A and B are shown apart, each in its own frame.
Chain A
């Protein structure tokens, strides 16, 4: 709700910028709708990078006169769109890829540590006898 109110307010104050930003942040809006978790990690990951991707176009708009035409030109400019959507895509890649990578890492690390601890316990039993494993 606050986003809509802010967007409407911004539309009255700076219509070109508002159009450009709203169009550029569509992936973030999609993430906002899709990510229903409390932490909103997808929104954060996609949103921050998407915003960083929109920022060069907004700066160019302000530099080129801040008109609706300039805003529309930037919106149909493939390079600008690539930057805006590409950055958002990187956000999605991070959001979806890091957990998998982390899972693989955890598996390797834990299995290695388990092997090390089992070996240590075997060494202890060999040196001190099974009574070293006796519970108090």
Chain B
């Protein structure tokens, strides 16, 4: 498969002309191509080259499903996940197919349970999900087994098709989708991927549409800009954050328009121009162009495409409209127009939102304009918005944050003051404050640099965004707390902190992407230990079993391991303390996760703990510990290992004994020196002492002799 074909495959489009057979097959096959139990009833497409490498391979998921990597289903695929034919081993389980997620991006675990339990006709049911090794790259992927639809609603977003009649749209699309959206709202789920290419037919007749996948990728990741509100459309795809039901309704409105037009609205317009048109004319005006809609269908479309979410139609409005009541949607309010334009980047700008977009695109020139004071003059004199001018002055003065170029931060703040609802725009990135998780996941999973994102967080730009909002929402409080916490993580260099920590904190479902794990999809501590146990058995295992990713992953799993233990793994920490920290970490993990014995991992860690013995002075003790540890690793338990390596009592006793040994050594040295001095001066010493001794001996002898004489005389 050529790269272009791969891109189109990921985008969920049918194979291009180079894949003639597949194209013909797809075109010849009916739009509604049911996947029957077992192999698909008809060939859905020629297998992609990358997938065909393992022709005939079957991937087994959870021992319940068989997935066929050589049978991709491009009509169900999208940019975040490829679709493949699948069948349940229990044939009574119904028709299914599988979504295979792109490695690295987090799934929406928070809605997985809710969506898994949804049995609404308007929602594609997730039958099961799990992790399995994918033969194309031998990496583990998250796989979702979904209820198989009969076909997709439109062939592709870009292909033109016959417009649907108003009555048909109302009857077979709006009414059932409203019911599905009711179900989502009842479950407090934001779909984030409502567009005709992700809406399928439940049956061959096509009377029941069902909303497609929304769990395999971050919200909004696969949504084209045309189907997103102005603010979310401005944002990088992975960084759109959690949306609201109103955003789903907007996408629903664009989808209705798509079906009525028979093509994607404003398909010929590039994203930047489309966003400018949406800002300038409002979404309805920008998307509908010169097309005329009947008054009946115009109402819901106009009502759903209102740019202000507070004025946008709700599901209740749609219900009323469906029941026959005619409502008058609020007219789109264009942004205030200045009496005179301001030139920037070779374009004349008449309103603040478009100017903000232009400023964000060229921060260097924007900074010059801000410093010259042109912006302030234009805001006060031409736009006449003193309040906004004051906000810009405030933004210009604010000195939040401590990293990144000050000019870039200043421009970002000024842009936020000009267009508070827009995402945070900084150094070419556009991120919603709650979209940092997705943005980080995308960047780190692809191995790209995340420095810009780090600068945004540490530069306190999200906090400024919150303070710039004119309508404060309750969720901003928790968001501000979270962002402040992230800023703290980024300031710290120890293992378990930094960007990696932010990644796993913001994405609880993110698999650990440490290279140590060799592509294994690990989302919990038990899985991590199991994977490390397998890696430990490999001949080419890395030097250490914990890197920055694993450390951050562990600390983000609350209670898995103490932060001090992980912090002690810092590269610049004393070697003996580090290796003890490894043992302590795995002991805590094994204990808390109630993991089975890990002999390979124990052996791996034991091979690293040589420096830990340096803490003991006694060579005999060291040898005995080595022998003991060699015996313990076979049990695969870290507890006894920790007891030996980190025993404070043993260390204390060793220290006391060592101190005594040092004193003995010093004493021996002194004795040796003394005796050597005596040897050197033996003649003098022997002479002095010897003569004295001779005198004493002589006195004693004389005394004895005299006593003897006296006794003899007396006798």
How many residues does chain A have at the interface if contact means C-beta atoms less than 8 Å apart? 47
Q: Does A76 contact B (CB under 8 A)?
A: no
The residues of B that contact A52 with a CB separation of less than 8 Å are 701-703, 705-706, 709
A-B contact pairs, 18 of them (CB 8 A): A44-B695, A44-B698, A45-B694, A48-B703, A49-B698, A49-B702, A52-B709, A56-B709, A59-B713, A95-B691, A106-B682, A110-B676, A110-B679, A111-B675, A114-B672, A114-B676, A121-B672, A128-B662
| Interface window among B277-285, B492-500, B577-585, B616-624 | B616-624
**Contact pick for B686, options A39, A45, A106, A113, CB 8 Å:** A106
Q: Does B692 contact A (CB under 8 A)?
A: yes
The residues of B that contact A106 with a CB separation of less than 8 Å are 678-679, 682, 685-686
Q: Does A27 contact B (CB under 8 A)?
A: no
Given contacts A103-B682, A103-B683, contact A98 B694 (CB under 8 A): yes
- Complex alpha-carbon distance, A33 and B664, angstroms: 51
The residues of A that contact B620 with a CB separation of less than 8 Å are 127
Would you call B672 and A117 a contact (CB within 8 A)? yes
Q: Does A124 contact B (CB under 8 A)?
A: yes
Taking the nearest CB of chain B, how far is it from the CB of A85, in angstroms? Answer: 14
- Which 10 pairs from chain A and chain B are nearest by CB? A99-B690, A103-B686, A48-B702, A45-B698, A52-B705, A110-B675, A98-B694, A52-B702, A41-B691, A44-B695
**Contact pick for A39, options B682, B692, B697, CB 8 Å:** B692
Q: Does A34 contact B (CB under 8 A)?
A: no
Question: How would residues 637 to 669 of chain B score, 1 for a CB under 8 Å from any chain A CB and 0 otherwise?
Answer: 000000000000000000000100110110011
- Complex alpha-carbon distance, A132 and B706, angstroms: 59
Closest A-chain residue to B705, C-beta based? A52
| Interface window among A9-17, A18-26, A65-73, A86-94 | A86-94
Q: Does A6 contact B (CB under 8 A)?
A: no
Tell me the interface secondary structure of chain B in the complex. helix
Tell me the interface secondary structure of chain A in the complex. helix
Closest B-chain residue to A44, C-beta based? B695
Given contacts A52-B701, A87-B705, A94-B698, contact A124 B689 (CB under 8 A): no
The residues of B that contact A131 with a CB separation of less than 8 Å are 617
Q: Does A1 contact B (CB under 8 A)?
A: no
Closest B-chain residue to A125, C-beta based? B665
**Contact pick for B618, options A98, A121, A128, CB 8 Å:** A128
The residues of B that contact A111 with a CB separation of less than 8 Å are 675, 679
- Complex alpha-carbon distance, A116 and B237, angstroms: 81
Binding site for B on A (CB under 8 A): 39, 41-42, 44-46, 48-49, 51-53, 55-56, 59, 87, 90-91, 94-103, 106-107, 110-111, 113-114, 117-118, 120-121, 124-129, 131-134
- Complex alpha-carbon distance, A84 and B205, angstroms: 152
Binding site for A on B (CB under 8 A): 617-620, 658, 661-662, 664-665, 668-669, 671-672, 675-676, 678-679, 682-683, 685-687, 689-695, 697-699, 701-703, 705-706, 709, 713
The residues of B that contact A110 with a CB separation of less than 8 Å are 675-676, 678-679, 682
Would you call B705 and A132 a contact (CB within 8 A)? no
Would you call A102 and B686 a contact (CB within 8 A)? yes
**Contact pick for B661, options A42, A107, A127, CB 8 Å:** A127
The residues of A that contact B682 with a CB separation of less than 8 Å are 103, 106-107, 110
Given contacts A103-B683, A106-B682, A128-B619, contact A55 B706 (CB under 8 A): yes
Taking the nearest CB of chain A, how far is it from the CB of B510, in angstroms? Answer: 47
The residues of B that contact A134 with a CB separation of less than 8 Å are 662
Taking the nearest CB of chain B, how far is it from the CB of A123, in angstroms? Answer: 9
Taking the nearest CB of chain A, how far is it from the CB of B556, in angstroms? Answer: 41
Given contacts A41-B695, A117-B668, A128-B619, contact A103 B690 (CB under 8 A): yes
The residues of A that contact B618 with a CB separation of less than 8 Å are 127-128
- Complex alpha-carbon distance, A51 and B703, angstroms: 10
- Complex alpha-carbon distance, A51 and B658, angstroms: 61
Would you call A99 and B686 a contact (CB within 8 A)? yes
- Complex alpha-carbon distance, A3 and B709, angstroms: 25
Closest A-chain residue to B678, C-beta based? A110
Would you call B619 and A132 a contact (CB within 8 A)? no
- Complex alpha-carbon distance, A118 and B665, angstroms: 9
The residues of A that contact B669 with a CB separation of less than 8 Å are 117, 121
Would you call B698 and A107 a contact (CB within 8 A)? no
Known: A95-B691, A124-B664. 13 other contacts (CB 8 A): A39-B692, A52-B701, A87-B705, A99-B694, A103-B683, A103-B685, A106-B685, A114-B676, A124-B668, A127-B661, A128-B619, A129-B619, A132-B662
Taking the nearest CB of chain B, how far is it from the CB of A114, in angstroms? Answer: 5
Would you call B661 and A91 a contact (CB within 8 A)? no
**Contact pick for A124, options B665, B686, B701, CB 8 Å:** B665
- Complex alpha-carbon distance, A120 and B713, angstroms: 59
- Complex alpha-carbon distance, A7 and B683, angstroms: 38
The residues of A that contact B661 with a CB separation of less than 8 Å are 124, 127-128, 132
- Complex alpha-carbon distance, A101 and B690, angstroms: 8
Closest A-chain residue to B619, C-beta based? A127
The residues of B that contact A129 with a CB separation of less than 8 Å are 617, 619
Would you call B697 and A94 a contact (CB within 8 A)? yes
Given contacts A128-B661, A132-B658, contact A99 B709 (CB under 8 A): no
- Complex alpha-carbon distance, A58 and B692, angstroms: 29
- Complex alpha-carbon distance, A104 and B678, angstroms: 12
Taking the nearest CB of chain A, how far is it from the CB of B653, in angstroms? Answer: 13
**Contact pick for B668, options A55, A99, A121, CB 8 Å:** A121
The residues of B that contact A121 with a CB separation of less than 8 Å are 665, 668-669, 672
The residues of A that contact B694 with a CB separation of less than 8 Å are 41, 45, 94-99
The residues of B that contact A91 with a CB separation of less than 8 Å are 698
The residues of B that contact A45 with a CB separation of less than 8 Å are 691, 694-695, 697-699
- Complex alpha-carbon distance, A82 and B347, angstroms: 142
- Complex alpha-carbon distance, A125 and B617, angstroms: 10
The residues of A that contact B698 with a CB separation of less than 8 Å are 44-46, 48-49, 90-91, 94-95
- Complex alpha-carbon distance, A59 and B715, angstroms: 14
Given contacts A59-B713, A128-B617, contact A118 B697 (CB under 8 A): no
Most buried by A among B658, B664, B686, B703: B686
Would you call B692 and A41 a contact (CB within 8 A)? yes
Taking the nearest CB of chain A, how far is it from the CB of B518, in angstroms? Answer: 40
Would you call B691 and A39 a contact (CB within 8 A)? yes
**Contact pick for B679, options A107, A120, A124, CB 8 Å:** A107
Would you call A55 and B709 a contact (CB within 8 A)? yes
- Complex alpha-carbon distance, A121 and B714, angstroms: 62
- Complex alpha-carbon distance, A55 and B702, angstroms: 10
Closest B-chain residue to A103, C-beta based? B686
Taking the nearest CB of chain A, how far is it from the CB of B590, in angstroms? Answer: 33
The residues of A that contact B689 with a CB separation of less than 8 Å are 99, 102
